[in-house]
Structure 1
Amino acid sequence: MERLTRAEEPIMKIIWDKGDVFVKEIVEELAEETPYNTVSSLVRILENKGMVGHRAFGRTHQYFPVIKRSEYRKRMLKNMITDYFDGSYKGLLSQILEDEEVSEKELSELKKLINSEL
């Protein structure tokens, strides 16, 4: 599965959040003003990538996610671990634990989560 580009990410997030959506609705949801034709082109690219599908209503299309957000996250995390941590989940966790931006509360919650899975 291909990684989403920076331009595709906000559009895909809207599609995941809304489910069935028309391009006009995506344009309305975007924080930045993005032209309708640009959004339409990006949605078609997402469709070509197999991320979204559509239903035709005359000359307009309603788009829906084909890939679940959780499945995308899982695949991208696996790719990141392979690419940046030599396939080591321990390396990823070590990096997270060394990160000074992780709060004590989050670290405590991570420890509880790890212990509950053992």
Structure 2
Amino acid sequence: MQLSNSEEQLMQILWKQKRAYMKDLIEAYDDPKPATTTVATLLKRMQDKKFVDYTQNGRSREYFPLVKKKDYFSKHVNGLIKNFFNDSASQFASFFTQETNLSKKELEELKSIIDQQIKRK
């Protein structure tokens, strides 16, 4: 299951805040802030997709994520590799390193991360 761009934007806020009431979520948006009804609709859709849930405190709902940010983006990246790079991590890595204008230092950091993963396997 995937989030729309507006749902993903709201999810980013919720991941950062961990638990939040509607007013906290709206406050986190840049101006112009979305209408309460818009955020409520997004939250309902995200709840239906099992990305968020809430606890009822009096008349207010405190929302929290059901999906970890890391898990969501891991699935996203794996889908990207599968759909756009013929399920080839090396094709993805080649594209990523050539098209993102990484500095030599950033490339060296990536190489170090990969070397560490190789040692672990």
| Unaligned segments of structure 2, at least 5 residues | none
4+ aligned runs moved over 3 Å, structure 1: none
One-letter amino acid matched to 1:83: N
Q: How many percent of aligned residue pairs carry the same amino acid?
A: 27
TM-score, normalised to structure 1, is: 0.92
- Residue 109 of structure 2 is matched in structure 1 by 109
TM-score, normalised to structure 2, is: 0.90
| Unaligned segments of structure 1, at least 5 residues | none
Root-mean-square deviation over aligned CA pairs: 1.2
- Residue 58 of structure 2 is matched in structure 1 by 58
- Residue 35 of structure 1 is matched in structure 2 by 35
Give the secondary structure class of the aligned counterpart of 1:7.
helix
CA deviations 1:3-49 (Å, max 9, x no partner) are 22111122101111111111111001101311111011111111111
| Structure 2 Cα separation of the partners of residues 37 and 18 of structure 1 | 20
Q: How many Å apart are 1:111 and its aligned residue?
A: 1.0
